[in-house]
Amino acid sequence: MLVFDQIRRSENQLRWLAIGVLIGMAALMGGLWYVQIVSYHEYQDSLKIQAFRTVRVPAPRGRILDQQNRILAENQPRFTVNLYLEDLREQFRHEYTNNVRREFREQIGTRPTKQQVVDMQETSRYRVVSNIVSQVSLKVLGQQLLLNPKVFSRHYSDQLALPLPILNNLTPQQIAIFMEQCFEVPGVELEVQPMRIYPQGPAAVHALGFLQREDESAVEDEMVFRYRLPDYVGKSGIEASYDEELRGKAGVKSILVNNIGYRQKEETWAPIEPGQDLVLTLDLNIQQAAEQALLMSGPDTRGAAVVIDVRNGDVLAMASCPTFDPNMFMGTISTEENARLIDPKLTPYINRALYAAYPPGSIFKVVVALAALEAGILNPAAIFYNEGYYQLGRRKIRDTAPPGNYDFNDAFKHSCNSYFIDYSLKVGPKALVEMGAAFELGKKTKVVSERQERAGYFPEPGDRVKKDGLIWQDGDTANLAIGQGEIVVTPIQMAMMTAAVANGGKLFKPRLLSRINPPAMVGDAQPQIFPEGEIRRLIPANQKHLQIIRQAMLADVEENGGSGVNAFVQGMRICGKTGTAQKTLPGGGMDHITWFVSFAPFEQPKYAVVVVVESGASGGITCAPKAREIYKAIQKKDLVVVRPLPLAGGPRT
């Protein structure tokens, strides 16, 4: 009470000061009571609505390189203009209060319902964002872009915490314009994201594969993400088979959003781990030469070309036609491009080197000759008279070789059907099937993955029953002798068969991937090396017999009358065999499948080249000239001392 006694004796100013202090304390206590008691549930609900949103941030994919470290697939920075909607809340309120709501009152004249208020707020937001998009696009692109109302509404309702992309893939000039003229536009920012590109365009696309947009959580992800930044997954080729190694490990960031979904803050929970680089056995120069050779018959040529190093089984080229540019999958595919991709006849998606199975025609005579030589039935010097056809019971099998006397070399280079049918009947189907099985015909090579390859069909050794349940007849053996009937093979199988004949009987497992390099930022990690020269099996054939086959293949290209003379290249000593097979089409009618299998040089074989073309004229006319162009590129390459290029340095985006 001493204090109040003092106040009573003091001036009036102290009295009023004491009253003010008491009133302030009362107001403070009243406010505290309101917050803790009256507004308790309101603040509790607000805290419940606030939440963390997990965002998956994709890692940069690893590069894909050829054997000389030339880049086949890499990432480049993609510059995107993003709009952050949380920065526009004042503009949204202003547009609603000063324009949209006023327009409603002037037009309707009644108080809006709750739903009408929601609709007007949505209209206000769309107007603000649409104006910004038009303003920025007019300055940067020189034309106004219209904001899709459905796209904006979906983004606002489902992904409000993430920025809204409004301009993608800006050029350096457009970036400069944006930085100069749009820096004052509210909410817009220029950001960089990695984008997959294939600098060689369609080169080796069927071996490399392509990517597609992925909007679901990946298998390796340890959590389900509320939001995902744009990411892509390999859908074919190396991109699909080694997708896990290439894509690295995605990072995770968390975004704290408020009760209406706007971003409050964000932080990184887990950093990204870039993907690993893949080095292939492909040689870009040979690959491009093979693709250009196929296009000699036009852009809609349906066929394949494979080049193998016969010394170790490395795949130097794997071309398929028709082709396409994988870069288009990183943007919008036009209606015309999509129609071509799904064309049931062209089927550009199919890797014909691995997934198309054809009757081999006369190139199978290599197997027939080797089986007859191993059985001791075929004497290369013995003379066989060809009447121009082969009479098998009541069936007359026409021969494209003219009537006359033939030894083995002549029969081989003229592709005399009667000669090989006669010897196949003498040696019997069992020996033919066993020799074909020794080359692993009817089995996948697994050069990329089992899913992306067909096995074709070849009878099992000892199986004398056809697929339809009928007993094997002499007519079936005659068909097999000329590569028709119950047999279909893939170009990669024929390439490995040819390589085995060239190298003395070693059937290698084809190798397309030579090593996987860890990202440069990973300390002392060592590359993963895939060993070369893995032998699947040794062909049970005498070296003298293999040499007889090689000599006949040389005659087919170098001697007059040979069916493969159109493949001749001065100084290469190419050995080959042509083939033309008939294939029944699904809707009726027949198609001609044309082949040329070859290797070079004769003295010390290094390369096997196989070409197949659908709807061709013949193996000698259609495929041999294409092989010649490939050998010219190989010859040019061998004249130059090739040293691997250094790995491209610098950080990867």
Map out the domains of the chain as residue ranges: 284-340+349-638
Strand ranges in 380-451 using DSSP code E only, listed in sequence order: 384-386, 389-392, 395-398, 404-406
Burial bucket for residue 90 (CB in 10 Å: 0-12, 13-18, 19+): exposed
Q: In sequence order, which residues have a C-beta less than 8 Å from that of residue 380 and are 6 or more positions away?
A: 373, 407, 408, 409, 548
Residue 71: strand pairing partners: 65
Question: Could you give the count of Cα atoms lying within 13 Å of 329 in the half-sphere of its Cβ?
Answer: 23
Query: Taking a C-beta distance cutoff of 8 angstroms, is the pair 191, 166 a contact?
Result: no
Query: Taking a C-beta distance cutoff of 8 angstroms, is the pair 555, 331 a contact?
Result: no
For 527, other C-beta atoms within 10 Å of its C-beta total 13
Angle between helices 114-141 and 172-181 (to 10 degrees): 120
Query: With the C-alpha atoms ordered 236, 241, 247, 252, is the resulting torsion angle positive or negative?
Result: positive
Tell me the H-state helices in 182-228.
Answer: 205-208
Tokens of 76: 């480049």
Residue with tokens 């293999």: 546
Residue in 503, 492, 548 with CA at minimum distance from that of residue 366: 548
Query: From the first residue on, what is the mean pLDDT of each consecutive set of 10 residues in the chain (653 residues)?
Result: 52 69 75 61 50 69 95 91 83 90 84 88 92 92 89 85 83 89 83 87 95 64 51 90 89 59 58 90 98 95 98 98 90 82 92 97 98 97 96 92 96 96 95 95 94 92 64 90 93 98 98 92 79 96 98 97 96 96 82 96 97 96 98 91 50 41
Cα–Cα dist 542/33, whole Å: 102
Query: Taking a C-beta distance cutoff of 8 angstroms, is the pair 447, 510 a contact?
Result: yes
* DSSP letter, residue 88: G
Query: Taking a C-beta distance cutoff of 8 angstroms, is the pair 232, 240 a contact?
Result: no
Tokens of 499: 């390589």
Give one DSSP letter per residue of 127-175, joined into a string: HHHHHHHHHHHHHHHSSPPPPPHHHHHHHHHH-TTS-EEEE-S--HHHH
* DSSP letter, residue 330: G
Cα–Cα dist 219/209, whole Å: 20
pLDDT at 11: 64
Cα–Cα dist 118/304, whole Å: 60
β-pairing, 303-309 vs 315-321, is antiparallel
Cα–Cα dist 444/461, whole Å: 17
Angle between helices 114-141 and 149-158 (to 10 degrees): 110
Dmax (CA) of the chain: 147
Tell me the H-state helices in 523-602.
Answer: 543-558
Query: Taking a C-beta distance cutoff of 8 angstroms, is the pair 484, 510 a contact?
Result: no
For 144, other C-beta atoms within 10 Å of its C-beta total 13
In 3-state terms the chain splits into helix, strand, coil percentages (rounded to 5) of: 40, 20, 35
First to last CA, the chain: 77
Architecture of the domain spanning 284-340+349-638 = 3-Layer(aba) Sandwich (3.40)
